[in-house]
Amino acid sequence: MQGEPNANGRSGRRWWYLVLIIPFIATMFPQLYSSSSPTLAGLPYFYWYQLLWVILTGVITIVVYYLTA
């Protein structure tokens, strides 16, 4: 059954915490997204890419929270 502790006392749900690494990796190398085009609503790519990851990180955190609670 999912969520039951295994032999070492850890739950199978802890693997979901690794999903929290995705936003970190996506923003770790600014040279990959440090350009001004394409623009979105007048914002250069560099800024709207980071703002997009702020929103996505919140959604990912909520999903991981509910799947591990």
Q: Which residues of 14-42 are buried (b: 16+ CB within 10 A; e: fewer)?
A: eebeeeeeebeebbeeeeeeeeeeeeeee
- What is the per-residue pLDDT for 5? 59
Q: Say what the pTM is.
A: 0.76
- Answer whether residue 59 shows pLDDT above 80: yes
13 pLDDT band (50/70/90 cuts)? confident
Peptide bond into 44 cis (omega under 30): no
pLDDT number for residue 64: 95
Each residue's pLDDT tens digit, 19-58: 999 999 999 999 989 999 999 999 999 999 999 999 999 9
